[in-house]
Amino acid sequence: MRRERFQISSNYKILLVDDEPGIVDSLSVVLKRSGYHYTGLTNPLEAIELVRKEHFDLLILDFLMSPIHGDEVVRQIREFNREIYILLLTGHKDLAPPLETIRALDIQGYCEKSDRFDQLLLLVESGIKSIAQMRLIKKFQEGLNKILQAVPKIYQLQPIGSILEEILTEILPLMNSKNAFILVDDVTQFSPGNNSIFKGIGIYHTDIHDFMEMLNPSLMEHIGHARLNKSSVKLQGGVVVPLINEYHQDIGIIYVESDDLEDGLKLLEIYSNQAASSINNAFLHSLVNIKNDELNKTYDQLRERYMDTIEALRMVVDAKDTYTRGHSDRVAYYASKIGESFGMSKEELELLKVSGLFHDVGKIGTSDDILFKKEKLTDRELIEIRKHPLKGAHILSAISMFKEVAPIVKCHHERVDGSGYPEGLKGDQIPFMSRIIAVADAFDAMMSDRRYRSKLPFEEAQNQLVLGSGTQFDQDVVVQFNHVLDKFPDMIKELTETYE
Ligand SMILES: [Fe+2]
């Protein structure tokens, strides 16, 4: 007990000023016996200079001194030091300074001089306790300030290793420590076993395998205890603090070596709570990324299947009608160019292109006799062949990935004046993409030799589109397609020259 008091006392420095050497000597004996760091002076002016140069926690000074009194000494010291704790020694109580002066100068206590120093020692002890509390509050304030500054930083860091390192770096000054480590469950690893993330600093700056060898069974037990009970475990020279996230789940621990547990532990616990939240946050980020990667993979697989299906369907269409092979590719191409000219998105262009590719897919359901007939078709045959948009929509509807393509294909022979088929839709009733396919389809048909007629010259085909604008074709689409034809004449020419 005495040893403990001695240790506490030795942390504080006391300055005594009394112009009577006898008092300085006597008090020197008493204070040193109590374990205080003590300096005695008889000259008050010298004392002012010493306080200016050196740190003292407590000042005991005589009131009546020469060349200046104690209250004047305090007045001068207070001009540059508001922190030092001051006790005033007075002679007879009638000679004490008035209470107002004591308050104004921020003097914490006073007592009468006597041969016995019991009363003074009690005042010194109570003064030291106050100073200790003030130190603790100050340390807490500084610690909290550090935490407030550190937390936003650890929230922004990625990856998890950097966060853990920063957490440890901030902890060391908070706990006056040099060695610490952090162990966190890696929630992003779903396999059992090797699922802890470790980071150490000081003597623990090593990898997890070497660290496991450093861990003694007793410390492991304390770690388990801290996690299970979700409370800190104090050890000889260190502390294990559980990391509890905002959902009250323990996600790991921080171990800090420190001899100064009393003052810093509360701060460490506050900091650990913040650290746990930031770690949790980082894991959530990682999990979102992992899910994103999985989604991307799934999307890539779907896309691959989509392309495979398109290719398979194209082969079926091509096998059916070798005569018009290449027609669907060109319709898809022209339609895409018109779509681009309208400023369509990547997804819309993809839909438009696939619709162009399969606009005549329904013809695989039309008999070869009708499809390849060289003579003029009868009314019955005409009705039969005009079923191909609807048949195409049915075929495409059966494949879920083409559900958006089906209605476009169904309407590619509708006319804006309502005289088309299969439903006789008018203007805006016809899907916009169908109106684009209709123009691309007609242009390519006019530019190709067919069994029943020869191909038209380029300018004539372009002219026919203008003539049909507003009746067979959408006016805006024709205008836009003419822009495309004007913009890429060489390319269109080259493309049309490949026609069979
Ligand atoms: Fe068609």
SS3 of the chain: the string is CHHHHHHHHCCCEEEEECCCHHHHHHHHHHHHHCCCEEEEECCHHHHHHHHHHCCCCEEEEECCCCCCCHHHHHHHHHCCCCCCEEEEEECCHHHCCCHHHHHHCCCCEEEECCCCCHHHHHHHHHHHHHHHHHHHHHHHHHHHHHHHHHHHHHHHCCCHHHHHHHHHHHHHHHHCCCCEEEEEECCCCCCCCCCEEEEEEHHHCCCHHHHHHHCCHHHHHHHHHHHHHCCCEEECCEEEEEEECCCCCEEEEEEEECCCHHHHHHHHHHHHHHHHHHHHHHHHHHHHHHHHHHHHHHHHHHHHHHHHHHHHHHHHHHHHCCCCCCHHHHHHHHHHHHHHHCCCCHHHHHHHHHHHHCCCHHHHHCCHHHHCCCCCCCHHHHHHHCCHHHHHHHHHHCCHHHCCHHHHHHCCCCCCCCCCCCCCCCHHHCCHHHHHHHHHHHHHHHCCCECCECCCCHHHHHHHHHHHECCCECHHHHHHHHHHHHHCHHHHHHHHHCCC
Task: Check whether residue 92 and residue 187 sit in a common domain.
Answer: no
The helix-helix angle for 432-446 and 458-468 (nearest 10°) equals 140
Task: Check whether residue 482 and residue 399 sit in a common domain.
Answer: yes
Indicate the Cα dihedral angle 446, 318, 394, 445, nearest 10°. Answer: 0
Does 139 fall in a domain? no
* The pLDDT of residue 5: 47
Assess whether pLDDT exceeds 90 at residue 11: no
- Whole-number Å distance, alpha carbon 307 to ligand 1 midpoint, is 22
Mean pLDDT over 457-486 rounds to 91
* The pLDDT of residue 284: 79
Give 471's contacts (C-beta < 8 A, 6+ positions apart): 415, 416, 417, 419
> Quick one: which of 128, 142, 176 has its CA closest to 7?
128
Report the Cα–Cα distance between both ends of the chain, in Å, rounded.
Answer: 109
Q: Provide the β-strand partners of residue 254.
A: 182, 241
Task: Check whether residue 277 and residue 333 sit in a common domain.
Answer: no
Give 452's contacts (C-beta < 8 A, 6+ positions apart): 374, 376
Does 102 fall in a domain? yes
- Whole-number Å distance, alpha carbon 347 to ligand 1 midpoint, is 23
Mean pLDDT over 214-221 rounds to 82
By residue range, what is the domain housing residue 8? Answer: 2-134
- Whether 391 and 384 have beta carbons less than 8 Å apart is answered as no
- Whole-number Å distance, alpha carbon 263 to ligand 1 midpoint, is 85
Percent of the chain surpassing pLDDT 70: 88
Does 399 fall in a domain? yes
- Whether 262 and 276 have beta carbons less than 8 Å apart is answered as no
- Whole-number Å distance, alpha carbon 389 to ligand 1 midpoint, is 6
- Whole-number Å distance, alpha carbon 456 to ligand 1 midpoint, is 19
- Whole-number Å distance, alpha carbon 438 to ligand 1 midpoint, is 8
Among 12-16, 136-140, 277-281, 369-373, top mean pLDDT goes to: 12-16
Mean pLDDT over 34-61 rounds to 92
Task: Check whether residue 429 and residue 475 sit in a common domain.
Answer: yes
User: Taking phi first (over 0 means left), then psi (-120 to 50 degrees means alpha), and beta for anything else, what does residue 166 get?
Assistant: alpha
What amino acid is encoded at 364 in this protein? I
- Report d(CA 88, CA 108) in Å as an integer: 8
Query: Which has more pLDDT, 408 or 326?
Result: 408
- Confidence grade of residue 2 (pLDDT, cut at 50, 70, 90): very low
For 197, the token pair is 């993330």
* The pLDDT of residue 495: 64
- 96: domain CATH number is 3.40.50.2300
Assess whether pLDDT exceeds 70 at residue 209: yes
Task: Check whether residue 338 and residue 475 sit in a common domain.
Answer: yes
- 473: domain CATH number is 1.10.3210.10
- Whole-number Å distance, alpha carbon 489 to ligand 1 midpoint, is 25
Assess whether pLDDT exceeds 60 at residue 326: yes
Does 299 fall in a domain? no
Does 295 fall in a domain? no
- Whole-number Å distance, alpha carbon 357 to ligand 1 midpoint, is 11
- Whole-number Å distance, alpha carbon 458 to ligand 1 midpoint, is 21
- 216: domain CATH number is 3.30.450.40
Task: Check whether residue 9 and residue 103 sit in a common domain.
Answer: yes
Does 147 fall in a domain? no
What amino acid is encoded at 218 in this protein? S
Task: Check whether residue 328 and residue 267 sit in a common domain.
Answer: no
- Whole-number Å distance, alpha carbon 305 to ligand 1 midpoint, is 26
- Whole-number Å distance, alpha carbon 178 to ligand 1 midpoint, is 80
For 463, the token pair is 């002219």
- Whole-number Å distance, alpha carbon 320 to ligand 1 midpoint, is 14
Among 40-44, 99-103, 282-286, top mean pLDDT goes to: 40-44
* The pLDDT of residue 323: 59
* The pLDDT of residue 157: 65
- Whole-number Å distance, alpha carbon 488 to ligand 1 midpoint, is 25
How many Cβ atoms are within 10 Å of 319's Cβ, its own excluded? 10
Last residue of a domain, one of 245, 272, 289: 289
- Whole-number Å distance, alpha carbon 359 to ligand 1 midpoint, is 6
* The pLDDT of residue 403: 83
Q: What are phi and psi of 422, to 5 degrees?
A: -85, -15
- Whole-number Å distance, alpha carbon 412 to ligand 1 midpoint, is 7
> Where is average pLDDT lowest: 39-53, 206-220, 305-319, 349-363?
305-319
Does 88 fall in a domain? yes
- Whole-number Å distance, alpha carbon 482 to ligand 1 midpoint, is 21
Task: Check whether residue 210 and residue 107 sit in a common domain.
Answer: no
- Whole-number Å distance, alpha carbon 26 to ligand 1 midpoint, is 118
Task: Check whether residue 129 and residue 211 sit in a common domain.
Answer: no
Task: Check whether residue 126 and residue 163 sit in a common domain.
Answer: no
Q: Indicate the number of domains in the chain.
A: 3
- Whole-number Å distance, alpha carbon 148 to ligand 1 midpoint, is 70
- Whole-number Å distance, alpha carbon 346 to ligand 1 midpoint, is 25
Assess whether pLDDT exceeds 90 at residue 294: no
- Report d(CA 484, CA 305) in Å as an integer: 32
Last residue of a domain, one of 134, 149, 178: 134
- Whole-number Å distance, alpha carbon 302 to ligand 1 midpoint, is 28
Task: Check whether residue 352 and residue 486 sit in a common domain.
Answer: yes
327-336 pLDDT, tens digit per residue, is 888 899 999 9
Task: Check whether residue 463 and residue 329 sit in a common domain.
Answer: yes
> Where is average pLDDT lowest: 50-59, 68-77, 148-157, 236-245?
148-157
* The pLDDT of residue 290: 74
- Whole-number Å distance, alpha carbon 379 to ligand 1 midpoint, is 17
Does 82 fall in a domain? yes
Assess whether pLDDT exceeds 80 at residue 227: yes
Last residue of a domain, one of 89, 119, 134: 134
